[in-house]
Structure 1
Amino acid sequence: MDIEMLIEKYQLNDSESQVLRFMETHKESLKKMGIREVAKQSFVSTATIVNMSKKIGFSGYSELVFSFSNSTTSKLVSEIVTEKERDHFVQLMKKYRDKPIMVLGSGFSQNVANYFSEFLNLYKFRATANSHLEFLRENLEEEILIMIISNSGDTVRLTELARMANEHHIETIAFLGEKNSKIGRLATLTISTETYSPKVFREFSPNLFFGTALNQFELLMSDTLKSIFN
């Protein structure tokens, strides 16, 4: 749970922010403390804590405590991204912290690209979900980062852009359903869900790419933000 993001997103007042920060600091002992003790230690009323919990989307204090006490992030990271991929992703995101990031998708992947871009902008990265070809010209090496989202990894337009970036030595992070694809071979870093199958369009077959790619991005960005702000 990203406390500072919640404070900013829901425009919490000083008292509400104080409670959340206290809970984050003491999350290991929240179940033993109880709401009255948290209120006492935070110098607020129990009503303030309950109202704050509901304000940020929880049914009440108990559900908020459960969220603090049951993080599965470490397990998920190890299951869907490797340590090498995580370290490389964090290194690239820190390198381009204050530089343009172009996030590209096509079809359903464009919706994912839009989400990535909005998420990055929330944390003051300079992201856009549009294709600006002037960003792919020569002499922009290490001045812009490209992110590409593609289920097959062979989408024609995105492959062309990945090839242009590669030829101009512009670093690229690709979220793909197939690692050994055209885009996967061109990218600086490929994060693959390994879920792509041409048979995915069979009736009622689940398409696991988009949900898994979103989870990978969220987990990788969690590590990135911790590395930047902690």
Structure 2
Amino acid sequence: MNLETLMQKYQRELSELDWSILGYILENEQEVMKLSIVELAARVHSSKSSVLRLTKKLGFSGYSEFKYFLRQSKQTTENEKEIDLLQLQNKDIANTIKLAQQTDFIPVIQAIKAANTIYCYATGYSQRKVVEEFSKMLMLCDKRSIVIPVKTELDISMSMISKDDLVWFVSLSGETDGIKENILSLNARKIPVVAVTTFSHNYFAEHAQHSYFYYSTPFEILGKNHIAQSLVGLSVLMDVIFRKYVEYLNKNF
């Protein structure tokens, strides 16, 4: 699915101003991917709230998710529609493992070992299921691990998290606006942060002490106007990190 398809799908809900903003985006798509919401609003002579309302009319949670959609849809070509989906899955797994083999996990393994409590937060439901499994496996190693299910509880938990803890943020884009303030607060308090996102330059990774990446290539479900995206790469990466941790424990037993 591309932006034109979304515009057609939601055309009855779009105002004249919305069409004007979308016209600019279509003509300057590459540039818009690099603009903040304030910068885009200035380019289209509108307000930040108008741009935000537009993204929500198109079915996105906010501007960051909209920009992520633009980047991903740009990468989806007509040739990819006929790609072997199992081959695509194997590619995501292979690329994730290859990147992991080139990564030094010792710093985060030592951070896990030293932490009193591991706090884990995932920005989406599917990511949270992977995090829950990771947390359960850590508890098998007598490591106290807590999965925070929603943003409200994350905000409440902030005052309880200390420098002796370790906070994990697991995300697809690494650009979820509502979580950025939490990460900045943890940074200011010198509390170590781990970011796990898809392979990209993103806010979460940039502001974390430990950053790790996985691959997840979107693919289209023909005739349904939906983009599917598997998190098998995330599962592989979290499993690699857990196995590295167990190896570390076994060597130091």
Distance, in Å, in 2 between the alignment partners of 1:113 and 1:92 is: 17
What is the aligned partner in structure 2 of residue 165 from structure 1?
A: 186
What is the aligned partner in structure 2 of residue 55 from structure 1?
A: none
What is the aligned partner in structure 1 of residue 136 from structure 2?
A: 118
* TM-score w.r.t. length of structure 1: 0.56
Q: Could you tell me which amino acid in structure 2 is paired with residue 109 of structure 1?
A: Q
What is the aligned partner in structure 1 of residue 207 from structure 2?
A: 186
Q: Is contact 2:96-2:213 (8 Å) kept?
A: no
Q: Does 1:93 align with 2:124?
A: no
Q: How many residues align?
A: 149
Q: Does 1:213 align with 2:231?
A: no
Distance, in Å, in 2 between the alignment partners of 1:149 and 1:123 is: 21
Unaligned 5+ runs, structure 1: 1-74
Instruction: Between 113-122 and 183-192, report the one with greater CA deviation.
Output: 113-122
Q: Could you tell me which amino acid in structure 2 is paired with residue 221 of structure 1?
A: F
CA RMSD between the two structures: 2.8
Residue among 111, 123, 133 paired with 1:106: 123
Residue 201 of structure 1, CA deviation: 6.5
Distance, in Å, in 2 between the alignment partners of 1:102 and 1:217 is: 15
Q: Could you tell me which amino acid in structure 2 is paired with residue 182 of structure 1?
A: Y
Unaligned 5+ runs, structure 2: 1-93
Change (3 A) 1:124 1:139: closer
Distance, in Å, in 1 between the alignment partners of 2:190 and 2:132 is: 25
Q: Which has the higher contact order (CA 8 A, sep 6+)?
A: 2
Residue among 123, 132, 136 paired with 2:158: 136
Q: Could you tell me which amino acid in structure 1 is paired with residue 111 of structure 2?
A: L
**Secondary structure of 1:187's aligned partner:** coil
Change (3 A) 1:155 1:77: closer
Q: Could you tell me which amino acid in structure 1 is paired with residue 189 of structure 2?
A: H
Residue 203 of structure 1, CA deviation: 2.8
Residue 127 of structure 1, CA deviation: 0.4
Distance, in Å, in 1 between the alignment partners of 2:178 and 2:133 is: 20
Change (3 A) 1:121 1:138: closer
Q: Could you tell me which amino acid in structure 2 is paired with residue 80 of structure 1?
A: L
Q: Is contact 2:100-2:237 (8 Å) kept?
A: yes
Change (3 A) 1:138 1:222: closer
Q: Using the aligned pairs only, state the percent identity.
A: 14
Change (3 A) 1:202 1:179: same
Cα deviations by residue, 1:129-173 (Å, 9 ceiling, x for unpaired): 0144455349922x1100111001012233332222112111111
What is the aligned partner in structure 2 of residue 154 from structure 1?
A: 175
